[in-house]
Chain A
Amino acid sequence: MKTGTTPVAAGQQATPAAEPGAGNGRTRFAQRLWVVREIGIAAALGLLVLVTAIDSPGFLSAPSIRDVLLGASILVILAVGQTVVIVSRNIDLSVGSVLGLVAFATGKLFLAAPGTPIVLAILAGIGLGAVCGAINGVLVAAARVPALVITLGMLYVYRGVDHLWAKGQQINAADMPASFLSMGTSTLLGIPVLALIALAVVLVAGTYLHSYRSGRELYAIGSEPSAARLSGIPVGRRVFGAFVVCGGMAGLAGALYAARYGTIDATVGTGLELEVVAAAVVGGVAIFGGSGSVYGAALGALLLTTIGTSLAVLRIDPFWQQAVVGGLILAAIGLDRLLALRVANRLKGRSSHGA
Chain B
Amino acid sequence: MKHFNLEAALDSDVAPLLKVRDVAKSFGAVAAVRGVSFGLYGGEAHALVGENGAGKSTIVKMLAGVHQPDAGAITIDGADVTLGGPAEAQAAGIAVIYQEPTLFPDLSVAENIFMGRQPRSRFGRIDHAAMKAATKRLFDRLGVRIDPDRPARGLSIADQQLVEIAKALSTDARILVMDEPTAALSGVEVERLFAVARTLCGQGAAVLFISHRFDEVFSLCQRVTVMRDGVWVATEPVADLTVDTLVRYMVGRDVSALYPKEDVEPGDVVLEVDGLSRHGVFERVGFSVRHGEIVALAGLVGAGRSEVVRAVFGIDRYDDGEVRVNGKRLPNGSPRAAMAAGIALVPEDRRQQGLVMELSIERNATLTRLGTLTRLGMLTGHGERNAAGDWAERLRVKYERLSDAVSTLSGGNQQKVVLAKWLATAPTVLIVDEPTRGIDVGTKAEVHRLLSGLAAQGVAVVMVSSELPEVLGMADRVLVMHEGRITAELDRDDATEEAVMFAATGEEAVA
Contacts and interface: CB of A to CB of B under 8 A. Distances in A.
B126 interface: yes
B158 interface: yes
Contact of A1 (B111, B136, B205): B205
B116 A231 contact: yes
B107 interface: yes
Given A1-B174, A348-B154, A351-B156, A227 B118 contact: no
B153 A344 contact: yes
B66 A230 contact: yes
B84 to A, nearest CB: 11
B487 to A, nearest CB: 25
B170 A8 contact: yes
A15 interface: yes
A231 B130 contact: no
Given A212-B125, A234-B87, A7 B144 contact: no
A163 B137 CA distance: 61
Given A14-B133, A217-B115, A223-B106, A3 B153 contact: no
A16 B104 contact: no
B133 A27 contact: no
B169 A6 contact: yes
B170 A7 contact: yes
Contacts of A232: 65, 85-90, 116
A351 B185 CA distance: 12
B105 A7 contact: no
Given A11-B127, A16-B132, A211-B126, A223 B105 contact: yes
A337 interface: no
A257 to B, nearest CB: 32
A228 interface: yes
Chain A interface size, under 10 / 10 to 19 / 20 to 34 / 35 or more: 35 or more
Given A14-B129, A290-B105, A27 B115 contact: no
Interface string B136-160: 1111010011110111011110110
Q: Is the interface of B mostly helix, strand, loop or mixed?
A: loop
A352 interface: yes
Interface in A230-281: 230-234
Nearest to B141: A7
A24 interface: yes
B237 interface: no
B158 A1 contact: no
A347 B125 contact: no
B147 A24 contact: yes
A38 B136 CA distance: 28
Contacts of B137: 7, 10, 17
B124 interface: yes
Interface string A316-355: 0000000000000000000000000001100110111110
B256 interface: no
Interface string B82-97: 0001111110000010
Contact of B151 (A7, A228, A347): A347
B146 A352 contact: yes
A1 B200 contact: yes
Given A14-B133, A213-B116, A6 B156 contact: no
Interface string A263-303: 00000000000000000000000100011000000000000
Nearest to A228: B104
Interface in A209-228: 210-213, 216-217, 219-220, 222-224, 226-228
Given A14-B129, A227-B103, A348-B154, A216 B171 contact: no
Nearest to B172: A6
Given A219-B106, A220-B107, A222-B106, A8 B118 contact: no
Most buried by A among B103, B111, B124, B145: B145
B134 interface: yes
Chain B interface size, under 10 / 10 to 19 / 20 to 34 / 35 or more: 35 or more
B173 interface: yes
Interface string A14-53: 1111000001100100110000000000000000000000
B120 interface: yes
A219 B149 CA distance: 16
Contacts of A12: 119, 127, 130
Interface string B55-73: 0000000001110000000
Interface in B367-399: none
A348 B124 CA distance: 35
Contacts of B115: 216-217, 220, 231, 233
Contact of B106 (A11, A27, A291, A348): A291
B132 A8 contact: no
B319 to A, nearest CB: 22
Contacts of A230: 64, 66, 86, 96, 98, 102
Contact of B144 (A213, A217, A234, A352): A352
Most buried by B among A1, A6, A229: A1
B120 A213 contact: yes
Nearest to B101: A227
Contacts of A11: 114, 119, 127, 130-131, 134
B5 interface: no
B176 to A, nearest CB: 8
Given A1-B203, A231-B86, A290-B106, A216 B118 contact: yes
Contacts of B103: 224, 227
A114 to B, nearest CB: 40
B130 A13 contact: yes
B464 interface: no
B352 interface: no
B162 interface: yes
A167 interface: no
Given A1-B205, A212-B125, A223-B106, 14 more contacts: A11-B134, A24-B147, A27-B147, A31-B150, A217-B115, A219-B104, A220-B104, A220-B115, A229-B66, A230-B96, A347-B150, A350-B150, A351-B158, A352-B159
Interface of A: 1-3, 5-17, 23-24, 27, 30-31, 207, 210-213, 216-217, 219-220, 222-224, 226-234, 286, 290-291, 343-344, 347-348, 350-354
9 contacts: A1-B205, A6-B170, A13-B130, A17-B133, A30-B150, A212-B124, A213-B116, A213-B124, A223-B105
Interface of B: 64-66, 85-90, 96, 98, 102-107, 111, 114-121, 124-134, 136-139, 141, 144-147, 149-151, 153-156, 158-159, 162, 169-174, 176, 200, 203-205
Nearest 7 interchain pairs by C-beta: A11-B119, A232-B87, A347-B154, A290-B106, A227-B102, A352-B144, A232-B86
